[in-house]
Amino acid sequence: MRVRRLDSADIPRWVELRAELWPDQSRDELDAEGRVALAADPPLIVFVAEVDKVLAGFIELGLRSVAEGCSSSPVPYVEGWYVEAASRRHGIGGALMHAAESWCRELGYREFGSDALADNHLSRIAHAALGFEEVETLVVFRKAL
């Protein structure tokens, strides 16, 4: 396994993996959204995990001005973290998170944030295993007008 920064040749496979993480969005939307985020200022930072020369997972970091439980600003924030089902439980998710942490430290950040849906127990367990602490549980409401 090798963890490295995303390059342009990886984008089609990265979009496939994004579609597995966010199945409610179309591939075209995920492709366009991803390309815009990569070109933004500041850009989305993406690390990928390569297994046998095929991308098996990714982690995306954005910068947020505020993140729950964090005292610094801006805060690097995990916007997406995914390992394909067939490649899980081999340390890939942890390796991706460690690459993100290293990038944050190299740039002088003291903390970074992430989130998971309250019922996503696997993600909550993975975050805890990698040293994250839960700081808040949030219920989001919506009302159609």
**pLDDT tens, residue by residue, 85-116:** 999 999 999 999 999 999 999 999 999 999 99
* 144 pLDDT more than 90: no
Which residues on neighbouring strands pair with residue 61, listed in sequence order?
45, 78
Q: What angle do CA 81, 87, 88 make, to 5 degrees?
A: 60
Sign of CA dihedral 40, 82, 90, 136: positive
CB 46 within 8 A of CB 59: yes
User: Residue 142: pLDDT band by 50, 70, 90 thresholds?
Assistant: confident
Domains of the chain with CATH codes: 2-129 (3.40.630.30)
Q: Does the pTM of the predicted model rise above 0.85?
A: yes
* 138 pLDDT more than 90: no
Among the listed residues 25, 92, 37, the one whose alpha carbon sits nearest the alpha carbon of residue 63: 37
* 139 pLDDT more than 90: no
The whole-number pLDDT of residue 18 equals 98
Q: Dump pLDDT digits (tens) for 58-80.
A: 999 999 999 988 999 999 999 99
What one-character DSSP code corresponds to residue 43?
Answer: P
